[in-house]
Structure 1
């Protein structure tokens, strides 16, 4: 048995989606205070090898065939790009004639080695939560030296050369980016990145919802403001 884990097949836009996590435990370049997986014991932004990759690839191939998946969504415990076999994983999926969508927090999309990997995918999701340097460092606790400016510019430069569908997910967090000034800044970021699709999210995990969640009314108002620019 391999080290990948899977969610039950679900239907999205009429397609059978197989969601796969390619990390055996959390490895991420951030250590967000609200991460539902917990603390980042392995805070990394360079690739590393994991055990059982060969058996995991065999299992993935079997899962694709047995589930008749029409889209594979690589959504991992942390930053999937740090798995040094991710290129092989994507190549295997593509060889089966199935499109691939990759979730990344987006910070690594400014580095050539990761750009080449992400460019293989039919869709890439980048994210943003904090929008000021102070909040970025406080609540996302990135690797030392990371800045919010580079975070945004990495996604901007990536999408300018990307031929697939770039999806930009924005999580609204009470007290951090839900005020009018922040919404205007987010609008400007959206215009810079120019994504193909925007997803507006909020804190849904019960552990964080009470303190960091926003009301339905406010969420609807912000969503309308950001989706209609």
Structure 2
């Protein structure tokens, strides 16, 4: 039985994108209160060994052939980098001549062993959701010892040496980073990280949307300000 799971292929900028989750369940270094996957029972930031992945790679190979994918997006239940076979997975995809995109929350990109793995990807997505240390600890509930400053620094230092396309996703959360002061601070963070592309998103899950979501108008206004700044 495979540990991987997939989303339906979709078209993005003319490329067929196949999203793959390489974790059997949620493993993450955060435990965000608004995570659509639920609580982090497995709160980790070191490599985890899962079963041998020959079956998983055979299934991935079949999915690639079936969907005629151009880009494989490693978008997992938690932090994909903690799968100790992720380097093998990335090499498998690259050897097929396909583009590899990796989503990481970004904290582990400050560690050399993870930086090396991410450097093999054509595209890396890092993200930010809050801009104060208090909110970082309160609603993202990271592993003890993590700080927001270190989080931002890890992402900035990674991108400084990264030769691929770095995409920075900013999630706007009502009451946490949607005011003018927060938007200006986000601009400073964008400058520090210097991404190739910025994506501005919002909380979409129905269970959290009423309390933490912003309106279409607010999203459009904030997006315009942050995207034009980049």
TM-score tier, shorter chain, comes to over 0.9
Cα offsets for 1:69-128 (capped at 9, x unmatched):
100000000000000000000000000000100000001010000000000000000000
CA RMSD between the two structures: 0.8
CA contact (8 A) 1:3 1:52 kept: no
SS at match of 1:37: coil
The two structures have a TM-score, normalised by structure 2, of 0.98
Cα offsets for 1:18-43 (capped at 9, x unmatched):
11000000000000000000000000
Query: In the TM superposition, what are the counterparts of 1:110-149 in structure 2 within 5 Å?
Result: 110-149=110-149
* Corresponding residue number in structure 1 for 2:155: 155
The two structures have a TM-score, normalised by structure 1, of 0.98
SS at match of 1:115: helix
CA contact (8 A) 1:101 1:123 kept: yes
* Corresponding residue number in structure 1 for 2:62: 62
* Corresponding residue number in structure 1 for 2:91: 91
SS at match of 2:42: coil
Q: Which runs of 5+ in 1 are unaligned?
A: none
Q: Which moved more, 1:56-65 or 1:204-213?
A: 56-65
For 1:124 and 1:49, the matched residues in 2 are separated by 23
* Corresponding residue number in structure 1 for 2:173: 173
For 2:27 and 2:180, the matched residues in 1 are separated by 34
* Corresponding residue number in structure 1 for 2:15: 15
Displacement of 1:61 in angstroms is 1.7
For 1:103 and 1:215, the matched residues in 2 are separated by 26
Number of matched residues? 229
SS at match of 1:228: helix
For 1:122 and 1:165, the matched residues in 2 are separated by 6
* Corresponding residue number in structure 1 for 2:48: 48
SS at match of 2:27: coil
